Chain A
């Protein structure tokens, strides 16, 4: 009885030691992946920021209006932001690889899903960046055109244009990431349709006078300024 108990203990201890001997190197490997990966990710992030600063990336973003948008969202400068993104993507990759080193099936699945997710993430980031750039460009063009054509509230028009394009870009980016796809698309369609309907009703019923005045301004018979004898040339 006693021998059997001791044998069982020895067997269990042996199994434990075997399992531990098999697991510990994996655990060590995971720690090395996490810590070493963190260091590599940190260095790569810093290097990415440095390279972006060298190519004057912040100035390009400032001209395109991206920096202003980031500042409004209380986010750091574009070079710092992209450096951080590089750090987190690289470190997350190393960390998940470390977990897969443990030999656990769920961790391995997560790693493969993560690496499949990276191209989608990059595509979404590019979509968002291009959307923001486009929104700022079109908004500025709309502001200047509306102002020079003497339309009422040019800034409101430009803000509306920017808002619609940014929302469209965000929706497309989220769709690319397959995040709450149905909810996002439905919400976008409802919101967009509702805004258009509201505008149509407001302009058609509530704002007939405003519409008339706007059209009169758009197609004037002959304003006093046009009756000027002055020619700019």
Chain B
């Protein structure tokens, strides 16, 4: 090997080996890293929901699963255990979850330890508020990033297939439709039409009128997060913290308000009342259709 060949190899090695990581700052000022590890790649916050019994926030991040008392702001980490056959692991980080009923959670994610269970846990369920989990389906095959329960169906975005999954039997079987290119970061289902879905990737919003079989690009915006609280109330929060509403399923938008930070996850509790988790786990609250926001929890 001549020196030129060596030089070439070294150049290639340098070029290909220099993959640094960079965190995503988003909007807003100082961020707390109490619940979120900003030294890692996004996403930072994976899910936000409310315990129907206690009203506690259920927040999952890249650090873990937290139960947050709304009155005292007390934060309790929850480390769940999952079993499949004779194998067990803990779960909590990067966990997608949705509340199905009192004490009953559904979700998806990854085991905290590599090698104990497949990297993709598929669709999982807990009947004790997330302390223990069972695999329902698609172990090793599905990584559901968001789950929506609506119209007696379960809709989910599977990052493994890059597909919208729809189940009518509680998550045992699914239909699959491919979603637009790129990782879908959020989606919502029209409260008045089970086939009408909107979804966003990093920089675009798409709409589907046939439950994901085909899609049309609607708009270009960065980091769109969605909540569809009523047929004429579709909300979106953008990466810069601005919040907008649409009365026509996403074709046109009106500015509503703004939060100080990068929005991550909506939780709607009424047509005009929503919570919005920001990138560091701060939870904002509005009761007037996103015009004004107040902090419901700061980490």
Do the two shown chains form a genuine complex with each other?
no
| B contact set with A: CB distance below 8 Å | none
| A contact set with B: CB distance below 8 Å | none
